[in-house]
């Protein structure tokens, strides 16, 4: 732990004590640090996260906006999401109690596959609620993320060029045919969504496999509603996607339209996740990507 981390760790006790009077602090541990945030775990149950933006005004604005977003999502989500316990906006600090469960990505593939349809149904219910949230209200809390699909395809081709040697040879013709084909049309209606709903952000009870929460809303945006369906398809396969679309309760034509775009995002996204797994050495990302090639790019 560097000196900055040590200094913050020393501040954590005082911040928690001032905002949660009477809460006993038995342990403070560094949970993780990235480019944007550093997080501590208190008593193995309370997450206290600090933004690293050096500009105090920007840091304050960001944590205030994120806290408001989480509070808004708590009101509309049928699944548990982290509920802000307190903020210390001037320090870029956001605190919330951990949700129960484990990230689905850390469970074995056979266990995930055995419950993919049930998990898909719950995700479809979540997306129905999110996508029906008033756009004007949510636009005050998140940005618009509407990258043209042609750019998605271009970036996927660039990613594939970097990892092609690591892709099993049997899947390469299907990938290359996809990259040479025209992308789906733009022009869909946008909606509020999580926008990064991979299985690393779905929490489940490892015994019952019930979905216990959805975490990491930092990429939430006004975006193509098919994108999160695509991440579900990428990570859990066709049974999960079909189950999600059924519980989404839209008409058959709209389900087919969303499903087609979801497949496009899944095929782009699996290459990105595979590259991420290779670059970082996180085998859970590489392993799930290799497994997904069987349904996304069949040999």
pLDDT higher than threshold 70 for residue 125: yes
Q: What is the predicted pLDDT for the residue at 9?
A: 66
Domain of 35, in residue numbers: 3-97
Asked if residue 124 and residue 52 are part of one domain, the reply reads no
Predicted pLDDT of residue 6 = 54
- State which of 77, 97, 117 marks the end of a domain: 97
Q: Both 110 and 212 in a single domain?
A: yes
The pLDDT of residue 196 is above 60: yes
Read off the pLDDT of each residue in 50-66 and give the average, rounded to a whole number: 91
Helix (H, G, I), strand (E, B) or coil at 49: strand
Residues 196 and 53 in one domain: no
**Residue 292: which CATH number?**
3.90.1200.10
**Per-residue model confidence (pLDDT) at position 8:** 66
Of 179-188, 195-204, 219-228, the least confident:
179-188
pLDDT tens per residue, range 83-115? 999 999 888 999 999 999 999 999 999 999 999
Asked whether the beta carbons of 224 and 188 are under 8 A apart, the reply is yes
Percent of the chain with pLDDT over 70: 97
Which residue spans within 80-220 are E strands per DSSP? 84-88, 93-97, 102-103, 143-145, 191-193, 202-204, 211-214
Mean pLDDT on 61-80: 95
Count of domains observed in the chain: 2
- Residue 253: pLDDT band by 50, 70, 90 thresholds? confident
Residue 197 has pLDDT above 60, yes or no: yes
Identify the band that residue 7 occupies on the pLDDT scale cut at 50, 70 and 90.
low
Specify whether the CB–CB gap between 271 and 156 falls below 8 A: yes
Of 56, 77, 97, which closes a domain? 97
Final residue of a structural domain among 97, 124, 155: 97
Q: Domain containing 81 — which CATH number?
A: 3.30.200.20
Of the candidates 34, 89, 42, 91, the one whose C-alpha atom is nearest the C-alpha of residue 66 is: 89
Co-location of 70 and 107 in the same domain: no
Residue-level length of the chain: 299
Interval 170-193 mean pLDDT: 95
Shared domain check, 53 and 182? no
* 34 band by pLDDT with thresholds 50, 70 and 90: confident
For residue 274, give Cα distances in angstroms to 164, 270, 271, 278, 286: 10, 6, 5, 6, 5
Residue with tokens 């025209």: 182
pTM (whole model) above 0.75: yes
* Whether residue 1 has pLDDT greater than 50: no
Residue 33: is it exposed, middle or buried by C-beta count within 10 angstroms (0-12/13-18/19+)?
middle
Query: Residue 35 has which token pair?
Result: 């480019």
What lies within 8 Å, CB to CB, of 90 at 6+ separation is 56, 59, 60
The secondary structure of residue 43, as a DSSP letter, is: T
| Confidence class for position 32, pLDDT limits 50, 70, 90 | confident
Same domain assignment for residues 93 and 107 = no
Same-domain status, 205 and 243: yes
Q: Is the pLDDT of residue 17 over 50?
A: yes
Q: What is the pLDDT of residue 90?
A: 87
């Amino acid at each position: 732990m560097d000196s900055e981390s040590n200094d913050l760790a020393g501040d954590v006790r005082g911040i928690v004590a001032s905002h949660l009077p009477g809460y006993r602090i038995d342990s403070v541990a560094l949970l993780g640090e990235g480019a944007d945030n550093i997080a501590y775990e208190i008593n193995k149950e309370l997450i206290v996260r600090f933004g690293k933006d050096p500009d105090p005004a920007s840091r304050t604005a960001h944590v205030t906006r994120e806290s408001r977003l989480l509070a808004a999502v708590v009101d509309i989500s049928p699944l548990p999401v982290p509920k802000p316990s307190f903020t210390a906006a001037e320090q870029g600090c956001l605190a919330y109690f951990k949700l129960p469960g484990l990230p689905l990505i850390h469970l074995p593939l056979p266990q995930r596959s055995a419950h993919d349809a049930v998990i898909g149904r719950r995700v479809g219910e979540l997306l129905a609620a999110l996508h029906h949230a008033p756009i004007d209200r949510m636009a005050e809390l998140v940005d618009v993320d509407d990258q043209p699909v042609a750019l998605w395809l271009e970036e996927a081709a660039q990613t594939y060029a970097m990892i092609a040697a690591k892709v099993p040879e049997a899947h390469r013709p299907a990938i290359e045919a996809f990259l040479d084909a025209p992308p789906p049309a733009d022009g869909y209606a946008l909606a509020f969504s999580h926008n990064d709903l991979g299985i690393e952000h779905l929490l489940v009870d490892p015994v019952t496999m019930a979905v216990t929460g959805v975490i990491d809303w930092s990429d939430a945006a006004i975006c193509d509603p098919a994108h999160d369906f695509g991440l579900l398809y990428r990570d859990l396969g066709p049974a999960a996607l079909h189950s999600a679309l059924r519980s989404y309760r839209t008409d058959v034509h709209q389900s087919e339209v969303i499903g087609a775009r979801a497949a496009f995002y899944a095929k782009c996204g699996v290459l990105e996740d595979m590259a991420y797994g290779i670059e970082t050495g996180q085998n859970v990302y590489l392993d799930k990507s290799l497994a997904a090639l069987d349904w996304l790019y069949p040999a």
